[in-house]
Chains A and B, each alone.
Chain A
Amino acid sequence: MTDFVDFHTRSAFSFLEAASLPEDLVQRAADLGHGAMALMDRDNLCGAPRFYMAAKKIGAKAHIGAEITGEDGELYPLLVENRTGYQNLCRLITSMKLRSPKGEAAASQEELYRFSKGLVCLTGEGIPTRQRFDKLISLFGRDNVYAELQRHFHRDQEARNQAAIELARSMQLRLLATNGVRQATLQERELADVLTAVHHKTTVMAAGQLLARNSERYLKSPRVMEKLFSDVPEAIAETAELSARLDFTLANLGYEFPKYPVGPGETMNSFLRERTEGGARERFRPYTEKARRQIERELALIEKLDLAGYFLIVWDLVDFCRREKILVQGRGSAANSAVCYSLGITAVDPVAMELLFERFLSEERGEMPDIDLDLPSGDQRERVIQYVYQRYGARGAAMTANVITYRGRSAARDVGKALGFPAEALERLSSLVATWGWRDPDDTAQRQFQQAGFDLKDPRIQKYL
């Protein structure tokens, strides 16, 4: 077995620019005998956790990176070497995205330089010039720049490779073979083309040169890659070296809960205890021994898990709402906590109701607690949000967002559109998808499509099925 590691792989989290989910890539890579792999999505790290979890499950090494769009129009394929690098990559993406409209983010040279520590940069697929290589070296340092070679059997690409090899040797840069993967398997090229058409709001028939030139951007086995680069073996050997060098994984991000500012002579724990006891006397009437014991037990666990800051921040938010006369209500499993009840976060007495605290927080589960607060929508909610930003810093607080993914109907519609079906056929297609279920062996998708009036001989319908 060879030691080739593929460092330039996009997943479907490169949003319409690649075809396979991180899990499928990891599985396929493992089937092909890869011991490690890197994910490098376009301008984001959204797929990284799923990629890491899938790799962890099968004992493979998951390297993390991202392709960053530069303001100069070039792509900067970056790999994370260590925790600093991960922090820098996250900050770089945040910084460029915060100042641009959606979909137009691009990193400036200054940002790339500012966040370059702990990152390794590949030269990418662009035209290799001394000027570009010099720029990358000045941004990331000579040891952190690798001249990238990809081979998809294109004349122009090979000409670029030869230029890159020559240039790298003259500039003492290391060569690195990658495969610029866009899909796990060869067959998924068709899906990749369909996604390209969706991305550019056109059909595969009209997409022309936007589509892939051939199907070669699929995951290849280390043996195939070694054969492909048999004339530059050092480019293959270097991948193993680089994999050994990148020691960062998502296993331990070194996350710490934020700290709550307390007065001199106080700790967060003592302050939380004080607040809780003060609140408990008012909330629990009578303040029974049972309640006292429960609070003591909870505080001990909170102290042990170092979560006092988190509780104090939530308390601070609730307190702000109360001062500003904004209705606020904690909900969910937080209602099982006597500390939350004492702090005024929740409204139900968990001791009297005999609610189980472990449902909320347990040492054995090893999960982070979460407290949901219900707020009135509109201006009042906005005021609370602004308070959080102002108090904890614009970069110290964030709104989370969902990535909307394709479901059956929406996928059917977009794929149908990209395959050039007329609007009326699209309606029928997407309505069929809801009934796809293979309930009895005779009730095949083919039969359903035939019954819906589609011509099964139409090659597009065949592709669809």
Chain B
Amino acid sequence: MFACIHGPDAATLADSFSPFVELVDERTAVFSITTRQLGRLKSMRAAVAATVEAAILAARNLPGYTFIPPGEEARVLGALFIDALPPDPELFETFDVWGIRSLEDLARLPENDLAARLGERGLFLQKLARGAFERPLRPLLPASVYEEFADLEHPIKLREPLLFLIARFLHDLTARLKSQSLAAAALHLTLNGNQRRHSLPFPTRDVKLLLKLVEHSLERQPPEAPVVKVRLELIPTQPRRIQHGLFTPAGPEPEKLELTLGKIRGLVGEKNVGYPELFDTHRPGSGRPIGELLPFRYFRPPLEARVSATRLWTRMFQGQILQIGGPWRSSGDWWNPDPLIAHNAAGCDLLSAEASAPHAVRSWNRDEYDLALSDGALYRIYLDRAPGKWFVEGVYD
């Protein structure tokens, strides 16, 4: 049976009955109750019922002490006005139109028809009205700190023994998380007072994974002195729930991906890891190529060139022009003119962090041509119209 106390000091009173109390709001507290304790409730504004929600409804809306015998919920609650239910303006308006005034009116409606018209929410309210909605108690538990600490008599100089100790901490902490159906969202490791924080891309309790992360971190950045104090804290969160689709292609497992990324970060540095992204722009060389059927290799930076009607010269190659296609004209970002770097606009400057900010890209205006040269290759050249210079942008494979 569940009891609900409604009043200014509901929480304190409820605490005197049970350590597991759910605080519905400031004035309403619910808890599980035994038959022997019932007598003490009779002087309070309280209700006892077989379901949590029925107890709450009765305590909030009926004066004094109410005991609802199991199976009698609908009868006892039936007299309450409809607005005793959790507010839902849209449904209440419909109830009003239908002439539903009391919980009894609502409880009497045929379930299937109600579901067809008002959906799940309507059914939920009807179950509440019948006192038949069952849910477990959600007691408020004190926030736990998932932390292990060791003050060592002998300093640890090697990584292996340190990892051994950390592994033991992790085993204990993840077991505690598991007992509360929680997982770790971040890992804070403090060695000799220096804290390193690792936020995890997904909640996990996998000790091996967590240990590997710590190992990579120690490899990247070994402790500066022998370790005498170790503190490990796992920040709790709700565990990850995934439903795999039957036909959706599986990506790499997040655990493995995170480990791979950790390795790459260790090799190239924290800030040099990312993923490629196509820029949303018509700027040549930075968006999706349009109408190109041949693979294309970019020269970065583009090769400066000299062009006559029949020949092309660059510092790397030269040749006779056999065939020419074009011009293909392209221009944009006119609001940000900067002739200084316009000649370098073909993609390479876009890769710098500064240029990837929307305001940092510069205008471009150019005519492209496809050239078949006497050396047998097919090149793309362009005239940058701002400085009036020719460049070879690359070669078609």
Contact = CB atoms under 8 A, between A and B. Distances in A.
Given A211-B332, A216-B329, A206 B358 contact: yes
Given A205-B358, A208-B280, A211-B282, A155 B335 contact: no
Contact of A209 (B281, B335, B336, B359): B281
A205 B290 contact: no
Q: Name the residue in B280, B331, B335, B337 with the highest tally of chain A Cβ atoms < 10 Å from its Cβ.
A: B335
B281 A460 contact: no
Nearest to A208: B280
A429 to B, nearest CB: 15
A213 interface: yes
A154 interface: yes
A220 B367 CA distance: 18
B331 A215 contact: yes
A190 B328 contact: no
Q: Name the residue in A157, A208, A216 with the highest tally of chain B Cβ atoms < 10 Å from its Cβ.
A: A208
Interface string A154-179: 11111100000000000000000000
B253 interface: no
A209 B282 CA distance: 6
B337 A209 contact: no
Given A190-B334, A463-B335, A209 B329 contact: no
A153 to B, nearest CB: 4
Interface in A171-193: 189-190, 193
B329 A155 contact: no
A156 B291 contact: yes
Nearest to B332: A211
A263 to B, nearest CB: 50
Interface residues of A, number: 27
A452 B286 CA distance: 38
Q: Name the residue in B327, B332, B336 with the highest tally of chain A Cβ atoms < 10 Å from its Cβ.
A: B332
B294 to A, nearest CB: 11
B291 A460 contact: no
A152 B282 CA distance: 14
A216 B331 CA distance: 10
A205 B330 contact: no
Contact of B290 (A154, A214, A215, A420): A154
Nearest to A187: B334
Contacts of B291: 154-159
B337 A459 contact: yes
A459 B335 contact: yes
A156 B293 CA distance: 10
A193 to B, nearest CB: 7
A419 B290 contact: no
B282 A460 contact: no
Contacts of B222: none
Interface string B312-326: 000000000000001
Contacts of A62: none
A204 interface: yes
B224 interface: no
Interface string A440-465: 00000000000000000001100100
B287 A459 contact: no
13 contacts: A153-B326, A153-B328, A154-B291, A190-B334, A193-B334, A208-B281, A208-B282, A208-B287, A209-B280, A213-B332, A214-B331, A216-B329, A419-B335
In the A-B complex, the 9 residue pairs with the smallest Cβ-Cβ separation, listed nearest first, are: A156-B291, A208-B280, A153-B329, A155-B291, A205-B358, A214-B329, A213-B282, A156-B290, A214-B331
